[in-house]
Amino acid sequence: MELNEPLLVVAIDFGTTYTSWACSMSHEYHENPTKIHVRQWIGGEHFSPKAPTTVLIRPDGRTLEAFGYEAQDRYAELVDKGEHTLWYCFARFKMRIFENIELSRQTLIEDITGKSLPAITVFSRAIQFMKDDFLSQFKSKIDGRMQEHDIRWVLTVPAIWNDAAKQFIRQAAVTAGIRDEYLRIALEPEAASLLCSYLPLKKFTKRESQSTLQTFQKGYKYMIVDAGGGTVDITVHEVLGTGKMKELHKASGGAWGGIFVDSAFRQFIVKLVGNTVFQKFSRVKTDDMLDLFRSFEVKKREIQLKKDSTITIRIPISLINIFQNETGKLLQETIKETEFAQRVTIINDKIKMDGTLFREFFSKAVQKITSFIRGLLQNKNLEGVKSIIMVGGFSECQLLQESVMSSFPEITTIIPEDASLAVLKGAVIYGHNQDMIVERVCRYTYGIAGATPFIKGVHKGEYMEECDVGQLCNNIFIKIVEAGQHVTLHERQKERFFNLNTHDQDTYVFPVYVSCLTSPTYVTDDGCSKLGSVTIEGIDTSVPLKDRKVAVSMIFGGTEIEVEARDVHTGRKSTVILDFLQ
């Protein structure tokens, strides 16, 4: 059942470091698209619109015990009692499926202590928690008034993820109890772009601190930089005359988000205490390790541009004691013999460092982001980009903002209010109106395995085959859609026509391939992989072989790709939705 106008849209922004949900009713969207309800979480003494992406699963490996702040606190209790060894605690695990080049439904991921569970179990339990949490929060408002088909669910994914990772998230959501026909997948920078089209935006330049900026007139070109906890997702849009948008450059970016900064801090601690001490500390005092990084997170968000005062972070006494027990030395004295002698001191349970050292934790991530943006802007297709819109939690970092502004003074840097919630709120808007994005740029080349007349000295001899029409070279990658090509969403792409090669063949199978290359020669080339196949049956063998043709085409929409094969003579069709998971 296809939803045309859902009564309610619920979006789940599944982040690397933080996750939350938001929603709006249909009448609210039509009155004011930005009137969106965001879940508030309690963490310690603070309220937050997002909860840590931490999942605690019971020793049976299936049952969710807790999520978010509650999962962190519950796991700390288990560690204190020495009862945690059989439990599974997963944190910041979203990037595991992006990093896995052979992602499948059986892929395993490790928890913080190295124990493994199927990734589909971990992701689906997290999504199920968010779904059930929403239903419990809104029970009084929707109970008896709505049916399952009245709610549209939206899940966010980075645009730079490959097709398999996007399909994996959809599969996890279905496993979590969200029916496929009521689910939409939103690309994170696209979602943020939709929200920004409705907001008064603040602009930051070298010459003026901030002011309100009206954008998004016809022809306006802008870059969305979605800097989250795990990935930095970058895309470029142009506003069309209809108020809709099209993508000008394929989504790109990398794993340079906030956890890149966390990794630099972790490496700093390892340099101070040694890897052996840090590993033992992480294993036997996991709760203290979590507290250490919570303290760092607070300081990370408070970092100022040119503040040279000393940065103080509370360091667990347990880490100091483990260091002394393992090395027989005092950590306070050992630091004096390291490269940090003039920059770091430890007094009781506090580590103090100069501000310049603390800002160095950010330098690699910031440099990678600005360098990548610079490279994109050199693309001739992106001439005329007027602004860079920064969204995502890491975009609220003043160091990153200053670096982008100073690196591109001729382009206006725009920061929407609550930049860390732009993707979540935009995903709600996407659920109400998916047609605002009308055109994307293909990230990959798609085609089928076919055959062409064999040319000696050009084609590989081992691929030559004799058939009814003569000598053919098999395993040729025949492109249907090319990487970098603009495709209109939900619209059939141009058909490719293929002649058949055998007189008595009434069934033909077209293997479908994808490649990261623009123009692969053979389907066996590096970077090519098989996605599936589409079969056309009932081919009329009475038609002369030279006139026997099959047309193959593709439709791109959401996270799915449909392939259709059509017998030109009989009109018989066969379609398949590509399965990107092994």
How do residues 347-361 score in pLDDT, each as one tens digit? Answer: 888 999 988 899 899
Q: Do domains 8-190 and 442-577 have the same CATH topology?
A: no
Specify the pLDDT at position 509.
Answer: 86
Specify the pLDDT at position 510.
Answer: 87
Specify the pLDDT at position 50.
Answer: 93
Asked if 236 contacts 223 with a C-beta cutoff of 8 angstroms, the reply is: yes
Residue 127's Cα: distance from chain center in Å? 15
DSSP run (H or E) holding 289? helix 286-302
Q: Which residue has the tokens 């470091």?
A: 17
Do β-strands 151-157 and 183-187 pair in parallel, antiparallel, or remain unpaired? parallel
Asked if 108 contacts 118 with a C-beta cutoff of 8 angstroms, the reply is: yes
> How far separated are the first and last CA of the chain, in Å rounded?
27
Residue-wise burial string across 492-514, b where 16 or more C-beta atoms lie within 10 A, e elsewhere: ebebbebebbeeeeeebebebbb
Asked if 125 contacts 57 with a C-beta cutoff of 8 angstroms, the reply is: yes
How many other CB atoms are there within 10 angstroms of residue 469's CB atom? 15
Q: Select the CATH number that applies to the domain covering 8-190 from these four: 3.30.420.40, 3.40.630.10, 3.90.1150.10, 3.40.50.2300.
A: 3.30.420.40
Which residues share a beta bridge with 346? 351
Taking only the tens of pLDDT, the chain with its 582 residues reads 445 689 999 999 999 999 999 999 999 999 999 999 999 998 766 688 999 999 999 999 999 999 999 998 899 889 888 898 899 999 989 988 877 667 888 999 999 888 999 999 999 999 999 999 999 988 777 666 778 889 999 999 998 888 888 999 999 999 999 999 999 999 999 999 999 888 766 655 544 455 555 557 888 899 999 999 888 999 999 998 777 899 999 889 998 998 899 999 999 999 999 999 999 998 788 778 878 988 888 788 777 666 567 889 999 999 999 999 999 999 988 888 888 888 999 988 899 998 889 989 999 999 999 999 999 999 988 999 999 999 998 998 889 999 999 999 999 999 888 889 999 999 999 999 988 888 999 989 999 998 899 999 999 999 999 988 889 999 999 999 999 999 998 888 889 888 877 778 788 888 999 998 999 999 999 989 998 888 888 888 888 888 888 899 999 876 678 999 998 888 888 888 888 886
Task: Say if pTM beats, i.e. exceeds, 0.85.
Answer: yes
Calpha distance 495→30 (Å, rounded): 38
Q: How many CA atoms lie within 13 A of 493 on its CB side?
A: 28
Which SS3 state, helix, strand or coil, does residue 325 take?
A: helix
Which residues share a beta bridge with 156? 186
What φ, ψ does residue 468 adopt, rounded to 5°? -65, -20
Homologous superfamily of domain range 442-577 = Substrate Binding Domain Of DNAk; Chain A, domain 1 (2.60.34.10)
pLDDT (tens digit, 9 = 90+) per residue, 381-426? 899 999 999 999 899 888 999 999 999 999 999 988 888 999 999 9
Which SS3 state, helix, strand or coil, does residue 219 take?
A: coil
Residue 470's Cα: distance from chain center in Å? 48
Which residues share a beta bridge with 534? 510
Specify the pLDDT at position 418.
Answer: 85
Q: How many residues does the chain have?
A: 582
Q: How many CA atoms lie within 13 A of 117 on its CB side?
A: 26
Closest CA to 245 of 268, 226, 220: 220
Q: Which strands make up the sheet holding 445-453, listed edge to edge?
A: 464-467, 470-481, 445-453, 508-515, 528-536
Position 188, amino acid: E
Calpha distance 424→230 (Å, rounded): 16
> 418: left (phi > 0), else alpha (psi -120 to 50), else beta?
left
Q: Which residue has the tokens 């309610």?
A: 8
Calpha distance 470→454 (Å, rounded): 9
Would you state the structure tokens that stand for residue 473, as one six-digit string? 């070279």
Specify the pLDDT at position 113.
Answer: 84
Asked if 320 contacts 253 with a C-beta cutoff of 8 angstroms, the reply is: no
CA distance readout (Å), 334 to 278, 344, 355, 386: 15, 11, 21, 52
Calpha distance 430→81 (Å, rounded): 46
Would you state the structure tokens that stand for residue 313, as one six-digit string? 């972070």
Sorted by where each begins, the domain ranges of the chain are: 8-190, 258-360, 442-577
Position 7, amino acid: L
Calpha distance 437→233 (Å, rounded): 17
Specify the pLDDT at position 207.
Answer: 43
Calpha distance 243→554 (Å, rounded): 26
Closest CA to 515 of 442, 440, 439, 441: 442
